[in-house]
């Protein structure tokens, strides 16, 4: 099945403040007791949103104004910590289709691209402009354009960066590499056969 | 021939070709799996109708969800029980070797791989777990991967990757007594930051790493990921070969000598290039403790908890957030911080030498009343060897609980959890908010010896003074 070509993401945004948001914060480990990823969306940022009694904390993630947000705006080193794909899976299942941050932890970045979630880097100064805009009007439409490598929102036009291999996989609809990996089986066998170990 | 570092040599030997997006298709010689990140991958494979291509190259264990004080199945936690059964079935169906609980070989995946001799120099290794960097201690290039890549590996034994830059981190000189591999890696992360390693493999070297045992090298490589480096490794040497000799999956007979020759050839060439070199003086390193909510927020035991005086606004924010969460006050000495729980274990510090070191020091001491202290061997084999040496008795006599092998209180997927805002002195690797199972639980990372000192005194203490070392 051909994959969708992901050339741009359009939607409203939400800003989750803080640098070094780790995967335990994105999805606490206790919710990883599952054998499928279905249903993970519900637990996204669980402990950021709820206190120990299960009551909603005062947090932007609980603000109904941002209910429809599909683009997450975060600080630097987003997604550090565990290699768990549960983190981007829960983002995706909660309706997020793109992430704008200062930069990303490597494994999280790769996992997200494999699911077709573009993760782009934007300077702090520009993120602040964007955040100001959505704070003023949460419904502002953000257009994350992977062909022009820019984000437009209201009157703002802001440059973003993403690793070229990731960008090209997304815009060419090849972000899931499995079919390509399967197609080279004879070269794989040759490399395996030449190795000094079995 | 141009000279290369170990990373480049291993990469070249395993590279299948270049993919359309420019990434490399890399062959992975050993694939390790566990119950948390593999079931979805097997599910995806089934959906696509693809078989496991090289089942003999994949090995499974169960670690995250196993209860450490409950041996019989079904486990009282139905979800945990479903996960172990799913893994067992997936392995049976596909012919993957499973170090099941009944095998006597079960344990944390990063303890089991080396212990079984599955981890060898010059290999590529992958596991759906970020601490796969541990295996780099043997001169392997070992990647933590996500579940989609676990699927790719099961289906093709390859994955799509970009090459990494290599930073050589040389630690030279002598470590003071009471300073351990854990302190060395915490110090490195403190210096280079939690994302200083992004895009890099870390090559650890220098006299300190030359002198380290294999288990100490594993402790350091384990936490590469906490410094943002996906891969960490040490060039293989005679110690590496001696460690592997006679292990169940190590080569034997004439294959052994051939293998050793091959392994030697994977060392970084003397005149090879690095993308960066960092030099660290061993005498700078003291017993180190984290005070915050990421592993770089660490100080030596003699220092005071940082204040926000004179720091830039970004750093100020992160210090304030950490202090608030940790319920600590800037400017106070870290020594004397009261603890509630002490945890010795995990893939960082749950190996035999860790337990031996602590046991040799704690005789005649007792865990302070009111402190919950647990010791969790990293594998069933570690547990058995420790019991043969009587270490379990030493620990229980001192007031520690002795548990079955597993990840235990390193993360919150089994019954071992912090409660409320308990503060845990922990030999594990992550001090993130909520990491140890309570959304308000607090973690301070340190060496196992420092954990023991904290358990005995009921507060963060200098192990060198507690144990007169
Ligand atoms: S001991 Fe901790 S870090 Fe290591 S594999 Fe288990 S959960 Fe992960």
* pLDDT per position as a tens digit, A93-105: 999 999 999 999 9
Query: Which residues in A lie closer than 8 A to residue B251 (C-beta atoms)?
Result: 197
- The answer to whether residues B299 and B154 belong to one domain is no
Could you state, in order of their start, the residue ranges of all structural domains in chain A? 8-194
Domain hosting B208: range is 165-236+262-284
- The answer to whether residues B31 and B90 belong to one domain is yes
- The answer to whether residues B188 and B293 belong to one domain is no
Q: Which DSSP string do the residues of A62-76 spell out, in sequence order?
A: G-GGGTT--EEE--S
Contact A172 B21 (CB under 8 A): yes
Residue of A177, A187, A193, A198 to mutate, testing the B interface (most B Cβ within 10 Å of its Cβ):
A177
A106/B contact by beta carbon, under 8 A: yes
Averaged pLDDT, B174-196: 97
Q: Is the pLDDT of residue B317 over 60?
A: yes
Q: Is the pLDDT of residue A2 over 90?
A: no
Q: What confidence category does residue A52 fall into, taking pLDDT thresholds of 50, 70 and 90?
A: confident
Burial class (CB in 10 A: 0-12, 13-18, 19+), B253: exposed
Q: Is the pLDDT of residue B416 over 60?
A: yes
Rounded distance, CA B180 to CA B215, Å?
Answer: 11
Averaged pLDDT, A59-75: 96
Residue A24: both structure tokens together: 């335990």
The count of CB pairs under 8 A between chains A and B is: 207
- The answer to whether residues B133 and B216 belong to one domain is no
CB-ligand 1 contact for B61 (6 Å cutoff): no
Minimum Cα–Cα distance from A190: chain B residue: B16
Query: Which residues in A lie closer than 8 A to residue B53 (C-beta atoms)?
Result: 185
Quote the pLDDT of residue B138.
98
Residue of A91, A117, A181 to mutate, testing the B interface (most B Cβ within 10 Å of its Cβ):
A181
Quote the pLDDT of residue B64.
97
Q: Is the pLDDT of residue B187 over 60?
A: yes
Rounded distance, CA B73 to CA B78, Å?
Answer: 10
- Non-local (6+) Cβ contacts of B280 within 8 A are B169, B170, B171, B172, B187, B188, B191, B206
Query: Which residues in A lie closer than 8 A to residue B430 (C-beta atoms)?
Result: 22, 24, 81
Mean pLDDT of chain B: 97
CB B412 within 8 A of CB B65: no
Last residue in a domain, options B249, B284, B319: B284
Quote the pLDDT of residue B343.
98
Count of domains for chain B: 3
Residue B63, φ and ψ in degrees, nearest 5: -145, -45
Residue A182, φ and ψ in degrees, nearest 5: -70, -35
Give the residue from A65, A107, A51 showing the smallest Cα distance to A84.
A107
A191 CA: distance to closest CA in chain B (Å): 6
Q: What confidence category does residue B123 fall into, taking pLDDT thresholds of 50, 70 and 90?
A: very high
End-to-end CA distance of chain A: 34
Q: Residue whose CA is closest, atom 2 of ligand 1? A: B410
Last residue in a domain, options B127, B161, B195: B161
Q: What confidence category does residue B314 fall into, taking pLDDT thresholds of 50, 70 and 90?
A: confident
Q: What is the pTM of this model?
A: 0.96
Minimum mean pLDDT range among A181-190, B66-75, B218-227, B367-376: B66-75
CB B258 within 8 A of CB B149: no
CB-ligand 1 contact for B129 (6 Å cutoff): yes
Q: Is the pLDDT of residue B372 over 70?
A: yes
Quote the pLDDT of residue A162.
98
- Which of the two residues, A81 and B370, has the higher pLDDT score? B370
Give me the half-sphere count of Cα atoms (radius 13 Å) on the Cβ side of residue B124.
26
Q: Is residue B246 part of a domain?
A: no
User: In the beta sheet, which residues pair with residue A72?
Assistant: A14, A99
Q: Is the pLDDT of residue B1 over 70?
A: no
- The answer to whether residues B387 and B297 belong to one domain is yes
- The answer to whether residues B179 and B61 belong to one domain is no
Mean pLDDT of chain A: 95
SS3 of B203, please? strand
Q: Is residue B248 part of a domain?
A: no
- The answer to whether residues B388 and B407 belong to one domain is yes
Averaged pLDDT, B373-382: 98
Class of the domain covering A8-194: alpha beta
- The answer to whether residues B410 and B451 belong to one domain is yes
Q: Is residue B435 part of a domain?
A: yes
DSSP letter at A104 equals B
CATH for B296:
3.30.499.10
- The answer to whether residues B440 and B296 belong to one domain is yes
Q: Which of residues 125-164 of A touch B (CB under 8 A)?
A: 163-164
CB-ligand 1 contact for B410 (6 Å cutoff): yes
Beta strands in B29-105 (DSSP E): 30-33, 58-61, 97-99
- Non-local (6+) Cβ contacts of B273 within 8 A are B3, B5
Q: Render pLDDT for A141-179 as a digit per residue (tens, 0 to 9).
A: 999 999 999 999 999 999 999 999 999 999 999 999 999
- The answer to whether residues B70 and B201 belong to one domain is no
Task: Give the closest of B29, B86, B162 to A197, CB-based.
Answer: B29
Q: Render pLDDT for B10-63 as a digit per residue (tens, 0 to 9).
A: 999 999 999 999 999 999 999 999 999 999 999 999 999 999 999 999 999 999
Distances (CA, A) of A34 to A31, A39, B65, B85, B357: 7, 9, 11, 12, 37
Last residue in a domain, options B138, B161, B184: B161
Q: Is residue B434 part of a domain?
A: yes
Q: Is residue B250 part of a domain?
A: no
Quote the pLDDT of residue B422.
98
B225 Cα–ligand 1 center, Å: 12
Q: Is the pLDDT of residue A198 over 90?
A: no
- Which of the two residues, B367 and A198, has the higher pLDDT score? B367
A111/B contact by beta carbon, under 8 A: yes
Q: Is the pLDDT of residue B356 over 70?
A: yes
Contact A105 B262 (CB under 8 A): no
Minimum Cα–Cα distance from A51: chain B residue: B439
Task: Give the closest of A33, A115, A165 to B79, CB-based.
Answer: A33
Percent share of chain B, pLDDT over 90: 98
- The answer to whether residues B151 and B130 belong to one domain is yes
- The answer to whether residues B155 and B61 belong to one domain is yes
Q: What confidence category does residue B469 fall into, taking pLDDT thresholds of 50, 70 and 90?
A: low
Percent share of chain B, pLDDT over 70: 100
Quote the pLDDT of residue B358.
98
Q: Is residue B398 part of a domain?
A: yes
Q: What confidence category does residue B97 fall into, taking pLDDT thresholds of 50, 70 and 90?
A: very high
């Amino acid at each position: 099945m051909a994959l969708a070509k992901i050339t741009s993401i359009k939607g409203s945004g939400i800003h989750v403040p803080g640098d070094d948001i780790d995967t335990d914060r994105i999805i606490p480990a206790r919710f990883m007791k599952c054998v499928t990823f279905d249903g993970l969306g519900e637990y996204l940022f669980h402990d950021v949103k709820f206190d120990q009694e299960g009551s909603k904390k005062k947090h932007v993630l609980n603000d109904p104004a941002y209910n429809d947000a599909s683009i997450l705006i975060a600080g630097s080193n987003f997604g550090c910590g565990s290699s768990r794909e549960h983190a981007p899976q829960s983002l995706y299942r909660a309706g997020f289709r793109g992430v704008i941050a200062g930069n990303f932890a490597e494994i999280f970045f790769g996992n997200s691209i494999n699911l077709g979630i573009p993760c782009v880097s934007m300077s702090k100064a520009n993120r602040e402009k964007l955040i100001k805009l959505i704070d003023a009007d949460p419904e502002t439409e953000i257009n994350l354009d992977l062909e022009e490598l820019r984000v437009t929102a209201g009157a703002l036009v802001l440059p973003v960066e993403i690793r070229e291999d990731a960008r090209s996989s997304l815009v060419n609809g090849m972000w899931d590499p499995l079919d390509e990996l399967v197609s080279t089986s004879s070269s794989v066998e040759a490399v395996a056969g030449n190795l000094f170990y079995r | 021939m141009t000279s290369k570092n170990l990373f480049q040599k291993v990469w070249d030997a395993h590279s299948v070709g270049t993919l359309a997006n420019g990434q490399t298709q890399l062959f992975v010689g050993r694939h390790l799996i566990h119950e948390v990140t593999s079931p979805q991958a097997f599910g995806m494979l089934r959906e696509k109708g693809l078989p496991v291509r090289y089942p003999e190259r994949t090995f499974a264990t169960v670690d995250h969800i196993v209860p450490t004080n409950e041996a019989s199945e079904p486990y009282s936690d139905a979800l945990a029980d479903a996960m172990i059964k799913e893994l067992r079935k997936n392995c049976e169906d596909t012919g993957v070797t499973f170090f099941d609980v009944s095998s006597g070989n079960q344990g944390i995946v990063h303890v089991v791989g080396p212990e079984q001799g599955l981890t060898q120099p010059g290999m590529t290794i992958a596991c759906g777990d970020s601490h796969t960097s541990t295996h780099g201690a043997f001169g392997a290039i070992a990647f933590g991967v996500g579940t989609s890549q676990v699927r790719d590996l099961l289906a093709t034994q390859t994955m799509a990757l970009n090459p990494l830059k290599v930073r050589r981190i040389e630690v030279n000189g002598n470590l003071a007594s009471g300073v351990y591999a854990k302190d060395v890696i915490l110090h490195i992360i403190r210096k280079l930051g939690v994302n200083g390693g992004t895009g890099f493999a870390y090559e650890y070297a220098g006299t300190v790493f030359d002198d380290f045992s294999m288990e100490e090298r594993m402790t350091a490589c384990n936490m590469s990921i906490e410094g943002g480096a996906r891969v960490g490794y040490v060039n293989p040497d005679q110690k590496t070969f001696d460690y592997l000799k006679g292990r169940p999956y190590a080569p034997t007979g004439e294959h052994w000598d051939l293998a050793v020759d091959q392994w030697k050839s994977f060392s970084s060439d003397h005149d090879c290039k690095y993308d960066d070199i960092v030099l660290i003086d061993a005498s700078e390193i003291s017993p180190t403790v984290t005070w915050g909510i990421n592993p770089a927020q660490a100080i030596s035991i003699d220092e005071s908890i940082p204040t926000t005086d004179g720091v830039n606004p970004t750093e100020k924010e992160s210090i304030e957030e950490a202090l608030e969460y940790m319920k600590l006050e800037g400017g106070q000495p870290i020594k004397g911080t009261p603890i509630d729980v002490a945890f010795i274990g995990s893939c960082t510090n749950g190996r035999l030498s860790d337990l031996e070191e602590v046991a040799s020091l704690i005789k005649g001491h007792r865990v302070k009343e009111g402190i919950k202290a647990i010791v969790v061997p990293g594998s069933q084999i570690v547990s058995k060897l420790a019991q043969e040496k009587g270490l379990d008795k030493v620990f229980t006599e001192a007031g520690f609980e002795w548990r079955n092998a597993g990840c235990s209180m390193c993360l919150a997927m089994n019954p071992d959890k912090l409660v409320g805002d308990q503060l845990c002195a922990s030999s594990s690797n992550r001090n993130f908010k909520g990491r140890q199972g309570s959304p308000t639980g607090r973690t301070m990372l340190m060496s196992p010896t420092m954990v023991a000192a904290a358990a005995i005194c009921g507060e963060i203490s200098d192990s060198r003074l507690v144990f007169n070392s």
